[in-house]
Amino acid sequence: MLKNPLLITLIWAIFILIICLIPGDNIKNINPINIPYLDKLIHFFMYMVLSVLLVSSIRRSSFFSKNPNLSYLLIVLLAIIYGGSIELLQRLEIFSRNSDIIDFMANTAGVISGLFIYFVLKKIITKILRKA
């Protein structure tokens, strides 16, 4: 169990922001073996982790316990808006980056997959703990 899930979530969100706003000239050689769509896989992974961390951060809050379905929806919306905002920031000339709708779609798929993974892991862990 995470000691301070909110802090870890904030650090991860800042990490995503920094990675996504590094000027394009500084990350040319991120794919030296030329894996197709590696950048999309990275976007997917970063946002999958973000959504799992967001659930971990708020699952013990009183709002979450009273409104779990609304909480999951808010997590998805928050993470998608965050990803979209970063894509829009990349359009600014100061970052020397390009905004990409496919990156946004990879972010969104990662968020939804992360929530799904959270539910699957929660179910597996619950079954294991019941047997113990």
Residue 63 has a pLDDT of 74
CB burial of residue 124 (10 Å; 0-12, 13-18, 19+)? exposed
Q: What would the pLDDT profile of 63-116 be if each residue is shown by its tens digit?
A: 777 888 888 899 999 999 999 999 999 988 877 788 889 999 999 999 999 999
Q: Quick check: 2 pLDDT over 60?
A: no
Whole-structure pTM value: 0.86
Rounded distance, CA 36 to CA 127, Å? 38
